[in-house]
Amino acid sequence: MHSIRVNDQRLHFSSAHFVMGADYCENLHGHNYFVDITVSGPLDSDGMVMDFKEIKKKALRICERLDHKTLLPNKSTSIKVNESEFSYEVTVSGKRYVFPREDCQLLPLEATTAERLAEFIASQIELSDRYRVKVCVSESIGSMGCFESEAT
């Protein structure tokens, strides 16, 4: 199987999030995330898996949606998010935060870990079933979470 890899310096976003562990809760904090995408699949009649520009364009749109936002998981059992007309109220580890809606991105995730963010980004790329996608999201140098779609 052939693949292409997109690791463009423009594929990044800066966001804040909470992370819950088995016996701890990290305070609200942020990262300068970087995204790396590999797409595997058959070659087309031009000898390409697909045009690099196509993946970059899709990934840039996703990064723009996440950039300069507080990322909130709406499927978490430990981070409670309540919506109102103008804000999100977040309760986590006995603390209460209120954020303007326009400063947040509510995500259909259990957690906003690098691994789950990679899975979310992969789901938003929207490729046909003949392709497999692997997305890695780096929080810092040497700390990366990845998700790879199942082969069909």
Domain around 90: 2-148
pLDDT, residue 23, reads 64
Q: In this structure, are residues 33 and 12 in contact, taking their beta carbons and an 8 Å threshold?
A: yes
What's the CATH number where 61 sits? Answer: 3.30.479.10
pLDDT, residue 36, reads 97
Block means of pLDDT (10 residues each) for the chain, 152 residues, are: 93 92 74 96 94 95 97 93 96 92 97 96 92 95 91 58
pLDDT, residue 102, reads 97
Residue 26 identity: E
Q: Which helix (H) or strand (E) holds 81?
A: strand 79-83
The number of folded domains in the chain is: 1
